[in-house]
Structure 1
Amino acid sequence: MALLRTLTHLGSALILSLLAVSANAEQSISDGKYEIHYNAFNSTFVTPEVAQQYNLTRSSVRALVNVTVLKIGDDGSKTPVRAQVRGQAANLLQQAQQLEFQLIDEGQALYYIGSFRFTEEEKQIITLDVQPDANAQPYNIQFEQTFYTN
């Protein structure tokens, strides 16, 4: 929740849009060195203005995956850092779509946004490889989510 408070104070359109849809759905992992926040949601939850500003496609059959990486300082402070982010979304028939992430840099916040198509009430298995340190192994994240058209 500290991340949510920090990001809310930044006040940008994208941050507010992403927080509005992710407040209850946020997921994260932490190893004491890095904290990785990730979530997925229907692209129509992003306002048309924000979608246009960041060149995101809004569609009732398109989902967005959002990844943020924070480096944890010795004092417990958290700083957004760049990372190599790769991933895929696969349905239960193992039909996979590679996710191509774009970096959105808002100064005090960094987001990696990828998208994929889905059909009504389709469960997707989302697999992410997040590598904030080029000299270390990536963090492997996997989660499942069912998506619904609006």
Structure 2
Amino acid sequence: MRFYSATLSRLLTAATLLFSPIALAEQAVSDGRYEIHYNAFNSSFITPEVAQQNGLIRSKYRALVNVSVLKIEEDGSKSASTAVVSGQAANLLGQAQQLEFKKIDEGNALYYIGGFRFTEDEQLKITLSVQPDPNKPAYTIEFDQRFYVD
């Protein structure tokens, strides 16, 4: 099981660095208390074994959104933080799909993964709500990304 978690972590990192059209732009927000990293990629980039192990749907017509939250400690160190994560992916006509996120806990790393469908060469606006502190308002993150069938 640890092998699959480590594999998922490496694949998510690789997808961020290699396959995301906005890979050169850092996809993170920070307010000094929390750092929220996010990216979206085609679900076919993960192996069938990793998808099955984590209950993810893998298809050339599905994408995944990955969100991780780091708490910034007073000494500047960072640690994985839990959060309430929700979101949607909407096409240019405003047709939206609600994202249901799964929490993947690797001990020292936490990921929230949500999936959605897309068609060839489709531009989607992804809107995320990330609330690491239940006593504070959620962060709203929006980004556009074009998806291609793999």
Which position in structure 2 is the counterpart of 1:4?
none
Distance 2:122 2:37 in 1: 23
**What does 1:120-131 correspond to in 2, within 5 Å?**
120-131=120-131
RMSD, matched Cα: 1.0
Which position in structure 1 is the counterpart of 2:15?
21
Which position in structure 2 is the counterpart of 1:99?
99
Distance 1:79 1:23 in 2: 21
**What does 1:107-126 correspond to in 2, within 5 Å?**
107-126=107-126
Alignment deviations for residues 59-91 of structure 1 (CA, whole Å, 9 cap, x no partner): 000000000000001111000010000100000
- SS of the aligned residue for 1:75 comes to coil
Could you tell me which of 6, 20, 37 is aligned with 1:12? 6
In the alignment, is residue 87 of structure 1 matched against residue 81 of structure 2?
Answer: no
TM-score, length of structure 1 as denominator length: 0.91
Cα shift at 1:23: 1.8
Distance 1:59 1:97 in 2: 16
**What does 1:9-88 correspond to in 2, within 5 Å?**
12-23=6-17, 25=23, 27-88=27-88
- SS of the aligned residue for 1:16 comes to helix
Which position in structure 2 is the counterpart of 1:133?
133
TM-score, length of structure 2 as denominator length: 0.91
Q: Which 5+ residue runs of structure 1 have no aligned equivalent?
A: 1-10
Specify the code of the residue in structure 2 equivalent to 1:23. Answer: L
Report how many residues are paired.
140
Large movers: runs of 4+ above 4 Å: none
- Of residues 49-58 and 21-30 in structure 1, the stretch that sits farther from structure 2 once superposed is 21-30
**Amino-acid identity (%):** 64
Q: Which 5+ residue runs of structure 2 have no aligned equivalent?
A: none
